[in-house]
Structure 1
Amino acid sequence: MNPLYRNDKRGEHAPSWYAASLPPEVARPALAGAISADVVILGAGYTGLWAALTLARAGRRVIVLEAHRVGFGASGRNGGQVQSGFNKPQSWLEERLGITRARALWDMAQAAKDQLRDFCATHAPEAAFRAGLAHGEYSLADLDHARREGDHMARHYGQEIAIMDRAEFSGLVKSPLYVGGSFDPSGGHLHPLAYARALARAAEAAGAVIHETTEVLSVTPGPKIVLTTPKGQVTATHAIIAGNGYLPNILPAVNARVMPINSFIAATDPLPDRWQEVLARDIAVSDSKFVVNYYRFSDDRRFLFGGRESYSIAYPRDIETALVARMLRLFPQLGGVGITHVWGGALGITMSRLPHVAQVAPNILSGAGFSGHGVALSGMAGRVMAEAVMGQEDGLSALSSLPVGRFPGGAGLRAPILTLAMTWFALRDRLGI
């Protein structure tokens, strides 16, 4: 089934607290007829919108095609966590890519956070960026690994990450399950849908045109690329594909390397007088479970708790029960708290959990597979691809060097194989091995 519709209603946002907390936006018109552009972009999430903004500011004619609404996919419904680096330790990247390339990638990831913070400060105060990101560890071996990596980052990159033992970390993140953890002051969290909407407004102000409820049915490569939609088509010199976990099977080179996986979030009633029973500070937190838990508080002090508990393509009938059970195992003090919103969404992951940003045809670029690190990195990928269209290819060369292989069996078998693997890792998490 088409990933654009298997769990969502056409042209509607997920029933998230994010969508409920913002005023409704007037829908942008669907594409009707045949038009041309310098660059056509598939997807109005962070990647596509940063590409559109960068290109429009440079005077390019840009058309963005979005099957649903701006920020419909992972960009508008994620955990809102702004991570440092990539979903692999920096030492891992050094071993495989060399220190020079790894350093360039780190600098790019740092610039991605700066880009996001600066944009929120100037264009999206409603996104409410807050600094501070913690990571909880369940075993002393994991804590020791975090300490070694923290020492490495301090010595070689000047990145100060505080490593905390059980007593210190439990004063910050008030769960009995962690043996310790780390705190990164350069990370943070924000309202993801508000950020996406602000990016769209900025891109349009610069001259980009966004068509919503306009699904791309096919991509026809050639000197002039043609993207065909139900009621029209766009012909362009360059295309940027930014569908991520919602990309239909229309670009095999991408679909074979990027797999959608579902993640779920619950929002509690506001806890204005109790939130510091859970977190001592207004920070975001994730942890070392393979089936990761991630959480933070909203501006109105709802606890937003996310985790991955289903590996089937379709959502489970009951999202809430398993998700809330995970939350209460970590924070039993929240027993009896009301749940107001529960939603799910697909994120794109790769075999290596590193982004797939690549030239998939002479004039077609794709960015996807950010594997839980996309709030900052996906925007940088969009900017890098836009710069490559304009002849500045250093950033694209760096991101393209990340090792991202094909899923065994390609697009056809990636889902059942990944389901088996993820179920095994979920069992390991439950058994504590």
Structure 2
Amino acid sequence: MDMAVPGLQQGAPYAGMPTWYAASANPAPQRPVLQGAQRATVCVIGAGFTGLSVALELAEKGIDVIVLESERVGWGASGRNGGQLINGYSRGLDVLEARHGPAVARALGAVALEGAAIIRDRVARYGIACDLVDGGLGVALNAKQMRALEDEQRVWAAHGHAGITVLDREALRGHVQSDRYVGGILDPLRGHFHPLNYLLGEAAAFEQLGGRLFEHSRVTHVDDSGPRPRVVTAQGEVTADTLVVCGNAYLGKTLPRLSGQIMPVSSQVVTTEPLGDLAAQLLPSNACVEDANYILDYFRRTADGRLLYGGGIVYGGQDPASVEAKIRPGLIKTFPQLKDVKLEFAWSGTFAMTLSRMPQIGRLSPKVFYSHGDSGHGVTTTQLLGRLLGEAIAGQHARFDVFAELPHPPFPGGQRFRAPLSTLGSLWYTLRDRLGV
């Protein structure tokens, strides 16, 4: 793959991260490696969406925070995803009402739009250059999916979001020049951005407020047996009054009590060569797009006129032999006119999925909080959960408890069989999508 793309920073500041995001990242400093013994009021593990969200939330309150990152800011899924702001959760509010009752559904619905609002507020407040664009589409490939999107519009309206518009096939073509879809919904509160640049902007704001951020500082051990949690890395340690664990799928086996609750899942993304005027012809309104399949595809324009296209999950987190081979067929079905297009970047990112498809936040002990398992809906949900974690650490538990009290059933088959069993289930739902039943 030819990575020499004119006008992009080749690998700077993220050499070894072969993504379009890394190549187009804003300048960022090399943060220090943690060395020696450090003290903080709060220590956060992970400088991705959740970790930086809670860290900035606390720094804005004047709380002394240290963030430890095993690689670089945004190195994991937070800096590799599709960059789409999709409101809500991986399960609809109607599904959550059926599972947990109307009171829980109302509480979850009341905060479901807050994550995207936090992103927009921070972009404006801190002047973060991340190509933020408003507007996003959910699109249907058959009549059954279209009915489901119409139901989604009605459910959102019942929870106070009345701005979603239902589009028939002809109206949708004003946004997506593809014959593949029968209709869709347009949500003005969705949107898209450059996720890595957003994270770099959050990190800079956090440091300006006095926060300390250490990169290449992988946590090797956590001791929460004493009055204050102690976090150990290869060259140093942090003692804090409170620890927040936000490693998600990249936490590994550092805290087995957490890793057993989630399953790593990889998702693949490609970006084309610059398309010139063709990019605007394919997506005239510059809205991002997500289809309604069980294993969905998503795509959007980039600020430099490429098409970014993703999907193709792999349960267990393994990368496919060829990202391009996994993604190109869907891209060509959507836009046949791109059959000969060059794909200049192709990469994988790993997110954490729960059996319920709802994020998990809670406590491992009175002084150790955690958040993980956003299940493919992490861009906006992580911002919300970072705020709720900040509230709980400051002593305000009401909104945090709504999520913390949700049940977290284990995967059938345990860690050994969860991936193959999930794959079998996905094959059934994929067949239903193809048959439109």
Matched AA of 1:368: H
Partner of 1:28: 31
Rounded Cα–Cα distance in structure 2 between residues aligned with 1:44 and 1:16 = 18
Is there any run of 5+ residues in structure 2 with no aligned partner, and where?
A: 1-13
**Residues 354-369 of structure 1 correspond to what in structure 2 (within 5 A)?**
354-369=358-373
Query: Any idea what SS the aligned residue of 1:310 has?
Result: strand
Q: Determine the C-alpha separation between the residues in 2 that align with 1:155 and 1:274.
A: 38
Is 1:66 the counterpart of 2:69? The answer is yes
Say if 2:210 is the partner of 1:210. Answer: no
Deviations 1:324-376 (A, max 9, x none): 11100111121212211111110111112111111222211111111221111
Tell me by how many angstroms 1:96 deviates. 2.6
Structure 2: how far apart are the matches of 1:244 and 1:133? 26
Structure 2 CA distance, aligned partners of 1:37 and 1:422? 44
Asked if the contact 1:289/1:429 (under 8 Å) is kept, the reply is: yes
Q: Which amino acid aligns with 1:170?
A: R
State the superposition RMSD in angstroms: 2.0
Report the alpha carbon displacement of residue 294 of structure 1 after superposing the two structures with TM. 0.6
Shift of 1:47: 0.7
Please give the per-residue CA displacement for 1:89-147, whole angstroms capped at 9, x wherever unaligned.
11122223333332222222212211110111222441121110101112212211221
Q: How many residues matched?
A: 423
Q: Report the more deviating stretch, 53-62 or 369-378.
A: 53-62
**1:258-269 to 2 correspondences below 5 Å:** 258-269=262-273
Aligned residue for 2:168?
Answer: 165
Mapped pair 1:193 → 2:191: no
1:154 maps to 2:118: no
Q: CA deviation at 1:291?
A: 1.4
Asked if the contact 1:264–1:308 (Cα under 8 Å) also holds between the matched residues in 2, the reply is yes
**Contact map agreement 2:264 2:315 (CA 8 A) in 1:** no
Q: Distance in 1 between matches of 2:59 and 2:419?
A: 37
Partners of 1:402 and 1:182 in 2: CA distance: 29
Q: CA deviation at 1:24?
A: 4.5
Distance 1:251 1:425, change over 3 A: farther
SS of aligned partner of 2:113: helix
Please give the secondary structure, in 1, of the residue aligned with 2:172.
Answer: helix
Residues 296 and 303 in structure 1, CA contact (< 8 A), matched pair in contact too: yes
Give the direction of change, closer, same or farther, for the CA distance of 1:131–1:23 in structure 2 (3 Å limit). closer
Following superposition, the deviation at residue 271 of structure 1 comes to 1.7
Q: Please tell me whether residue 318 in structure 1 is matched to residue 322 in structure 2.
A: yes
The one-character-per-residue Cα deviations of 1:26-53 (angstroms, maximum 9, x if unpaired) are 3111111122221111100111111111
Q: Aligned equivalents of 1:354 and 1:263: distance in 2?
A: 18
1:153 is displaced (CA, Å) by 2.6
Q: 1:383 and 2:384 equivalent?
A: no
Query: Which letter does structure 1 place at the counterpart of 2:250?
Result: Y
SS in 2 for 1:172: coil
User: 1:40-92 deviations in whole A, cap 9, x for unaligned?
Assistant: 11100111111111222222221111000001111111101001111111112
Measured in 2, the distance between the counterparts of 1:312 and 1:199 equals 30
Q: Judging changes above 3 Å, is the alpha-carbon distance between structure 1 residues 330 and 427 closer, same or farther for their aligned structure 2 residues? A: same
Matched with 2:98 is: 95
Tell me the TM-score normalised to structure 2 length.
0.91
Aligned 8 A contact 1:309 1:322 in 2: no
Aligned equivalent of 1:116, options 119, 140, 156: 119
Larger deviation: 259-268 or 88-97?
88-97
Pairing 1:47–2:50 present = yes
CA 1:351 to 1:100, structure 2 compared with 1: closer, same or farther past 3 Å? same
2:4 match: none
Instruction: Quote the residue 2:274 is aligned against.
Output: 270
Deviation at 1:382, TM superposition (A): 1.3
Instruction: Summarize the Cα distance change of 1:201–1:418 in structure 2 as closer, same or farther, 3 Å threshold.
Output: same
Query: Which of 370, 376, 383 is the aligned partner of 1:372?
Result: 376
List structure 1 segments (4+ residues) > 6 angstroms apart after TM superposition.
none
- Output the amino acid matched with 1:217: T
The aligned amino acid for 2:265 is I
Partner of 1:398: 402
Correspondence for 1:129: 132
Report the more deviating stretch, 127-136 or 87-96: 87-96
Is residue 143 of structure 2 the alignment partner of residue 140 of structure 1?
Answer: yes
C-alpha distance 203-412 of structure 1, shift in aligned 2 (>3 A): farther
CA apart distance, 1:158: 3.9
Conservation of the 8 A alpha-carbon contact between 1:12 and 1:72? no
How far 1:175 moved relative to its partner? 1.9
Greater alpha carbon shift after TM alignment, 375-384 vs 105-114 = 105-114
The residue type equivalent to 1:189 in the other structure is H
- How do 1:213-224 residues align onto structure 2 when only pairs under 5 Å count? 213-222=216-225, 223-224=227-228
The equivalent residue for 2:88 is: 85
With over 3 angstroms needed to count, the CA separation of the structure-2 counterparts of 1:415 and 1:33, relative to structure 1, is farther
Q: Secondary structure at the match of 1:286?
A: strand
